[in-house]
Amino acid sequence: MKTKEETLKAITDQGLLPLFFYEDAAVSLEVVRTLYRAGVRVIEYTNRGKEALENFKVLIEAVNTEMQELHLGIGTIKNVQEAEDFIAAGAHFIVCPVIDPAVGQITHDAGLLWIPGCFTATEINQAYQNDAGLIKLFPANLLGPSFVAAVRDLFPGQLFIPTGGVEISSANITGWFSSGVCGVGMGSKLISKEILANQDYETLYNLTEKTLLIIKESRIS
């Protein structure tokens, strides 16, 4: 089992949390393999379709046999039943679009990292009071780096990761890291509908390498 401390370190070390869902399990697996080959060690699969749970079981089996350094979590968890199902399937961490303290407690009890989604200072405070190891700021493009810079000192030690609208550009990513986030979440900007539909793993590999390099440079600039 991967502990919450190990997963949190993997996310902060990587500085990137790729996230996606696709109906086809075989394509989903190739996406995960491609990201892994490009250097990614933490991925969020999202619970965005009826196939998600069965697909996730396929992915976890591959992680356990061929990608053992990978932390594979599940996102878009909105209630206790979903959390229980995916924890039973072997999820390494739980990401939510909202704050559900009951989901947080189940995740904590399992020894896993809980990442709830927040949009306001009040929501951040609720997540903070419920021991969120990492808080997802969503949708990030509506909040902007200035929001992080304004609220982070109110919550000492709290880690933030913006998701939704983060661009693969030096200016955008540098702006986020300068505001004090520990990483950025990327969905369709990295794993686009076109890449998935065309099974264009070469483009995905190149984009992932480019993004990881921008993040590395942003952190030392």
What is the CA angle 153-154-155, rounded to 5? 90
pLDDT of residue 1: 78
Q: Specify the DSSP class assigned to residue 191.
A: S
Whether 74 contacts 7, CB under 8 Å: no
Residue numbers in the chain where pLDDT is lower than 70: 221
Tell me the C-alpha distance between 201 and 196, whole Å. 8
- DSSP string over 63-86: HHHH-TT-EEEEE---SHHHHHHH
Q: How many CB atoms lie within 10 A of CB 88?
A: 11
- pLDDT number for residue 220: 79
| pLDDT tens-digit map of 132-151 | 999 999 999 999 999 999 99
Confidence (pLDDT) at 221:
63
Q: What's residue 76's pLDDT?
A: 98
| Residue-level pLDDT at 122 | 97
Q: What is the pLDDT of residue 202?
A: 98
pLDDT for position 72 = 98
Topology (CATH) of 4-220 = TIM Barrel (3.20.20)
Check: CB of residue 88 under 8 Å from CB of residue 80.
Answer: no
Q: Where are the domains of the chain?
A: 4-220
